Amino acid sequence: MEHGTSVISEGIELIPEGTVTTPKGFVAGAAKVGVRTDWDKLDVGLVHSGAPCVAAGVYTRNALKGASLLVSMEHLARGSAQAIVANAGCANCSVGERGIEDAIKMAQLTGAKFGIDPHEVVVASTGVIGTFLPMGRISRGIEEIRVSREGGMDFARAIMTTDTKPKHVAVRGNGWSMGGVVKGVGMIHPNMATMLCFVTTDAAVTQLFLAHALKDAVDDSFNMIDIDSDTSPDDTVVVMANGLAGGGPIDEGHADEKSFRAALRLVCTDLAKQMVADAEGATKVIEARVEEAATHEDARKAAREIVMSLGVKTAVYRQRCI
């Protein structure tokens, strides 16, 4: 398993082969239902927590948003979630009211499967824009999926589109753990990318702290990468915390605040670097490091100008010995 070069700090330990089912209480699974008929792969996946979770999300800034994302934004506004249903192959975007109806149906089917309120289900879709979800096949897939602690890798594969490999990471903190998966290799640009990212943790945290920590982590990871200067309508990062590790709840000023923030930042940064390394057509990875900037925002602006520059990308590409 390859990871980015994120620095392990604040007492955080990398868990080899970890994924979204590494934290206590989380299970996952996937099925191959033929969302797109031109590929043969897992394309519908589920994640479920046996206990209710506080949750937070960060979303695309694209004015055009997919139907599944709009439904998830409404659900996550409650600050809680207990399951995720995701499909690859169809973005469920630009298809009118039917897109909303299909996303709601996916949430209802998943809620019924796990015996939870459908509003506690995050719905995510990625793939081709402007086509309808094949709800008959997706419905059967949701019913057929068998979730388990070993299903995290299948879920990571089920959200892939043109990715060449599943992208996942997990870390251990002070008695709690955190795992994440991501997909995305094209339409990658600061302010998120064509990406879906799901992070789980068994740490006990307050919802407001979780939301702030996620935004900070995303700002310095997914919001700093660039491949082709395009954005998409379905970009989503969601984190769910079920508290089954006990202790806490972690909040501002808690003894574990710094280590939790460090873990979330590390997971997001590692997954972001995995995305860049697997980007469509990529042969090089460029990392810009800015020193002695007057402010953090100045450093961000300078780094983004460098990584978005077509001239810099061309120059690095032409240096084939690098």
314: three-class secondary structure by DSSP = helix
Q: Which of 19, 22, 126, 194 is catalytic?
A: 194
CB burial of residue 322 (10 Å; 0-12, 13-18, 19+):
exposed
| Helix and strand numbers, DSSP H then E, in the chain | 8, 9
295 plus 272 within the same structural domain? no
For residue 276, pLDDT beyond 70: yes
Tell me, yes or no, whether 6 lies in a domain. Answer: no
Per-residue confidence band for 173, with pLDDT thresholds at 50, 70 and 90: very high
184-188, 265-269, 289-293 — which one is most confidently predicted on average? Answer: 265-269
Is 110 tagged catalytic?
no
Q: Tell me, yes or no, whether 167 lies in a domain.
A: yes
Rounded to the nearest angstrom, the gap between the alpha carbon of residue 10 and the centroid of all alpha carbons in its chain is 23
Indicate whether 53 belongs to any domain: yes
Identify the pLDDT of residue 298. Answer: 72
Q: Is residue 149 part of a domain?
A: yes
Three-state secondary structure call for residue 200: strand
Query: By the 8 A CB rule, do 276 and 184 touch?
Result: no
Same domain as 205, residue 114: yes
- The pTM (predicted TM-score) of the whole model is 0.86
Range of the domain at 306: 283-322
Of the two residues 251 and 287, the one the predictor is more confident about is 251
Report yes or no: 234 and 69 within 8 Å, Cβ to Cβ.
yes
Q: How confident is the model over 221-259, as pLDDT tens digits? A: 888 777 655 555 558 899 999 999 998 799 999 999 999
283 — phi, psi (to 5°)? -125, -10
Distance CA 99, CA 15 (A): 38
Tell me the one-letter amino acid at 105: K
Residue 108 counted as domain residue: yes
Task: Identify whether residues 298 and 150 lie together within a single domain.
Answer: no
Nearest to 171 by CA among 53, 264, 51: 264
Q: What is the band of 190 on the pLDDT scale with cuts at 50, 70, 90?
A: very low
CA atoms of 130 and 302, how far apart (whole Å): 36
Residues 235, 187: Cα–Cα separation, whole Å: 10
Residues 189 and 304 in one domain: no
Q: Is the same domain home to 221 and 293?
A: no
Average pLDDT of the segment spanning 176-186: 89
Specify whether 277 is located in the same domain as 294. Answer: no
- 7 lies in a domain? no
Beta bridge partners of 166: none
Q: For position 187, what pLDDT does the model report?
A: 47
Encode pLDDT of 118-156 as tens digits. 999 999 999 888 999 999 999 999 999 999 999 999 999
- Is 5 domain-assigned? no
What type of residue is 68? S
Whether 225 and 288 share a structural domain? no
Residue 2 above 60 pLDDT? no
Q: Residue 7 carries which DSSP code?
A: P
Amino acid at 14: L
Q: Is residue 40 part of a domain?
A: yes
| Distance (Å) of CA 244 to CA 121, 161, 230 | 19, 32, 39
Please check whether residues 122 and 182 belong to one and the same domain: yes
Q: Quick one: CA torsion of 207, 211, 212, 218, rounded to 10 degrees?
A: 150
Please give the pLDDT value at position 297: 72
pLDDT attached to residue 256: 94
297 and 270 share one domain: no
Q: Domain of 59: which CATH number?
A: 3.60.70.12
The overall average pLDDT reported for the chain is 87
238 and 304 housed in the same domain: no
Same domain, 294 and 257: no
Tokens found for residue 35: 């969302």
Give 62's pLDDT tier (boundaries 50, 70, 90). Answer: confident
Asked if 63 and 157 sit in the same domain, the reply is yes
- State how far the alpha carbon of 160 is from the alpha carbons of 96, 154, 163, in Å: 25, 10, 5
Domains held by the chain: number: 2
